[in-house]
Structure 1
């Protein structure tokens, strides 16, 4: 007898007995539960997953999810996935989730209301939804078994996930056959249907064909003389430089604070900067031109002499950055994407006055955009950031919003009390 014919109440009753330790796996085998669910529950319990968790816990890579996205092979297939799944999900109460092979969610898109409700169980980019992290769930169990899986409501191990149903199919590298992630549909009972499974399966086939085609064209693409260059300057990690040359060779380097300052300023001044002007921007006029020239000479050895021109100093090719990603997303009005790209303050150890002004500009612009949306989900995400911790007005907005639940208001009230105690 399939679990699709078993009532939610019956499955929930068995689940309660199992997690309470009143029955064991041998008893589960006598129930109408599907074998895939029974075995997943047993693995979840054995791994110590708490069935009362508020969804999966944030993984260690949450802050760097934007970097994971940029480097993940499924990034190139996003247009395919959006065309086949996301576009129709936006107004249907359904979410499309794309995870990495370790279960980390990289993208969660679809119906805005569903996405906001799912934040309560931490079904957000950067969260760990592997089976070992979140218990029985479609993307995590699909990755654990390397097989397509449908999980219906009360079949989930974690109670907070049980209002949802989901269907997930793993995605494989077209050359090696290794699992590189999973595509999941999460929503109501309709997403646990055979038709939904066929749709997700067809999308995965299209994605794997897309990746195979890209592999065939890589030799032609690698001959692009421009290559790519990316600057990581947001958040607590040390600033980094990454580049891929025309032959496909990747270079990574940790930057000194001064070199990161210079690259940020040059990227914001495509017209170029004189040595005198750059010295002023770097150290409020207390830096001599000879020192600037020496730093530029050392920087050329890191990023390549062809990238830096002089008289005036300027970049000779495009350089992308996480900072630019935030500003670009804000310019498009995509505040969620801006939050995804924002790993934290810009070069927080920099003493450059120009970088300090830019740090304030990006932080203030992002906060203002979050508040302007009136979106509680975005406000919660902002308040989870280090800058949001001391944002008294932001916590007050959350506390006073009639749409906020009792837990949100209690948390906001406690945080405000802590700020009052600390700062008066």
Structure 2
């Protein structure tokens, strides 16, 4: 970005008196040309002139009740993607006396987090969830103006068009949809004018970028799930043409027969063009709304794809015309979203002793209907284990319903879990809504990040688990449910329960059995196979062949701690895959900000292959954990103690063992 353009983004408080004078002249109709007022501010004032009352003291009263609920529901993906990003900024917000504000694309506030001392000030100007802070409503302000110009901007004091908010300093950046590039919201940092800092805009830009990355990751995950569930069906359809659309309505995949079948149907119905040009399948109000669909396509050929209540996309099945003419009874086909496998754990890649032990324990636990609490760091694959436990257990024929407890506000999570009755609140759906607990009846309910569940909701979940009955919001009649509960957390719930942050009775109910999944740094010997497996999935998604991996790359991988675990490895590999342009992955393709701890003395690893170095690191980590107790080390690694002695000698670890023993 050019320096002049960059300067346009930041306020200059030293010009505050000149800006105030220029604002007063502007409102009185005088010539207000001044270098102290940035062009972006001047442009915004001119847009607001005659349309917004400059004496306005606050935003209009915020939406409440059902209107606020609908607002949050419509933006739940954005709220979910933003929650952890906003939480990570809390220390900065408290230290600087500011708040972080999330809005949708129209400037409607979705959440406000930060310094509680600003609450009275926020309430005075209605900087609250449900309030409208668009430029059309509140004049020049960071939220509304950033959305209007589609760029980050900082607005300080008298740069605000309306006098009632001129004692505030605000910095905002837009959040864009990773697929369409359109604006889906804005992230703002606001405080009283004395809190001004250029760093606020930098943080807003960075945080908005992180939210976009989380949105992109979610889209990638959903698209992967869509392809994963549909590819077999597409490949087996040797007569029908199949076109797959993602949840945004964009076509992403066709099978080999699609073009030929399109031509057959177009000719039979006197269409001049057999190609489905510009056809999209967006969802509106819970239904597929095809756009630019030619007359020769029957709408009955379009089916939604929903897995566990999650809308993934849609499929257009173009039936083989000759077969349609011949056959009379409608053939029966399994729903395209159906899952299930004879050996669900076989697709979980890994042979490291700690991981193999987790797989063996999981396969045993799968046979029981008892609750299982999955423990492990973020990104270790707890959701994949939960899916495999379901598919290998007695509930496999029932639904698998997943809920991320950390991705919703308290109000939304209540409705998601328990559902509500018709008329429970103004704006409730006709007929009410089934909650995820009911949806899991006969199957498995997976509560991810259960440690984030609000404390006051936990007794209601406990009652469901103890009684087998669920009450919808607004109903007095219980509904029977029978399900298996799987939960996951990266927190120490037992400590949380002891300190009153989690209910002890619920902890013992959900942790009848527990399963700890090892972090990636504890299974470094799996890196080669796991990397190849992930690259194969990535290449399949991009419809190309997987690249090779240079052996030298594993040296870098083995020295890294992988705080984001498998999820981080997948992201790193995908970035490198795109950087490589189809060639083998080498250290040159590592991310620009890649850094690893300094390597030990060369003599410790000299002459070892990357795989041996990874094995060495895993053994050292086990020795450290067990304080030199070789019996425990061998047990964790799944090898005989005699074999461990051989490995210690071969990998030159005897001196290390003596050093680590207490």
- Shorter-chain TM-score bucket reads 0.5 to 0.7
Residue 8 of structure 1: aligned partner? 16
- Equivalent residue for 2:172? 168
Q: How does 1:400-411 map to 2 (within 5 A)?
A: none
- Secondary structure of 2:180's counterpart equals coil
Contact 1:226 1:317 in 2 (8 A): no
Aligned 8 A contact 2:99 2:191 in 1: yes
User: Given the alignment, which residue of 203, 207, 212 partners 1:208?
Assistant: 212
1:90 aligns with 2:85: no
The answer for the alignment partner of 2:73 in structure 1 is: 70
Shift of 1:71: 3.5
Counterparts of 2:193 and 2:63, CA distance in 1: 32
Query: How far is the alpha carbon of 1:81 from its aligned partner?
Result: 2.0
Unpaired runs of 5+ residues, structure 1, are: 246-265, 274-279, 283-311, 319-330, 334-424
Deviation, 1:98, is 0.4
- The answer to whether the Cα contact below 8 Å between 1:151 and 1:192 also exists between their aligned partners in 2 is no
Residue 108 of structure 1: how far off its partner (Å) = 1.0
Q: Is the 8 A contact 1:227 1:243 kept in 2?
A: no
Report what 2:58 is aligned to: 55
Return the alpha-carbon distance in structure 1 between the equivalents of residues 481 and 67 of structure 2.
26
Number of the residue aligned with 1:22: 29
Match of 1:255 in 2: none
Alignment partners' CA distance in 2, 1:89 and 1:45? 33
Cα 1:145–1:281 shift into 2, 3 Å: closer
- SS of residue matched to 1:52: coil
Distance in 2 between residues matched to 1:210 and 1:313, nearest whole Å: 36
Residues 62, 125 of structure 1: 8 Å contact kept? no
> What is the Cα deviation at residue 205 of structure 1?
1.4
1:158 maps to what in 2? 162
Distance 1:90 1:5 in 2: 22
In the TM superposition, residue 149 of structure 1 has moved relative to its aligned partner by: 0.7
Matched residues in 2 for 1:179 and 1:194: separation? 24
Offset, 1:61: 6.7
Q: Secondary structure at the match of 1:64?
A: helix
Residue 75 of structure 1 deviates from its aligned partner by: 1.4
Residue-pair matches, total: 262
- The verdict on how the C-alpha distance between 1:29 and 1:244 changes in structure 2, with shifts beyond 3 A counting, is farther
Aligned positions of 1:413-424 closer than 5 A:
none
- Once residues 96 and 33 of structure 2 are traced to their aligned partners in structure 1, the CA distance between those partners, rounded to angstroms, is 36
Greater Cα shift, 145-154 or 86-95: 86-95
Give the Cα–Cα distance (whole angstroms) in 1 for the partners of residues 129 and 176 of structure 2.
Answer: 21
Alignment partners' CA distance in 1, 2:162 and 2:483? 50
Change (3 A) 1:313 1:161: closer
Aligned residues of 2:99 and 2:112 also touching (Cα < 8 A): yes
- 1:237 pairs with 2:420: no
Secondary structure at 1:28 match in 2:
coil
Q: Deviations over 1:336-380 (max 9, x none)?
A: xxxxxxxxxxxxxxxxxxxxxxxxxxxxxxxxxxxxxxxxxxxxx
Contact 2:62-2:131 within 8 A present in 1 as well: yes
Higher relative contact order (CA 8 A, sep 6+): 1
Match of 2:401 in 1: 226
Deviation at 1:152, TM superposition (A): 0.8
* 2:66 and 2:427 in contact (8 A); partners too: no
Q: Secondary structure at the match of 2:29?
A: coil
- Matched residues in 1 for 2:92 and 2:220: separation? 30
Q: Displacement of 1:79 after TM fit?
A: 3.2
Question: Relative to structure 1, is the Cα distance of residues 108 and 317 closer, same or farther in structure 2, using a 3 angstrom cutoff?
Answer: farther
SS of equivalent to 2:60: coil
TM-score (norm 1): 0.54
1:324 match: none
Larger gyration radius, structure 1 or structure 2 = 2
User: 3-state SS of the aligned residue for 2:179?
Assistant: coil
More helix by share: 1
1:121 aligned to 122, 125, 137, which one? 125
The aligned counterpart of 1:107 is 111
Q: CA, structure 1 residues 267+9, in 2 after alignment: closer, same or farther (shift >3 Å)? A: same
Residue pair 1:227, 1:244 contacting (<8 A) in 2 also? no
State the match for 1:45 in structure 2.
49
What CA distance in whole angstroms lies between the structure 2 residues aligned with 1:88 and 1:99? 20
Provide TM-score, normalisation by structure 2: 0.36
Deviations, residues 388-419 of structure 1 (Å, cap 9, x unaligned):
xxxxxxxxxxxxxxxxxxxxxxxxxxxxxxxx
- Secondary structure in 2 aligned to 1:226? strand
Corresponding residue for 2:351?
none
Q: Is the CA contact (8 Å cut-off) linking 1:68 and 1:106 kept in structure 2?
A: yes
- Residue 186 of structure 1: which of 187, 190, 196 is its match? 190
Q: Tell me, yes or no, if the aligned pair for 2:18 and 2:36 is still in contact at 8 Å.
A: no
CA contact (8 A) 1:165 1:191 kept: yes
Match of 1:143 in 2: 147
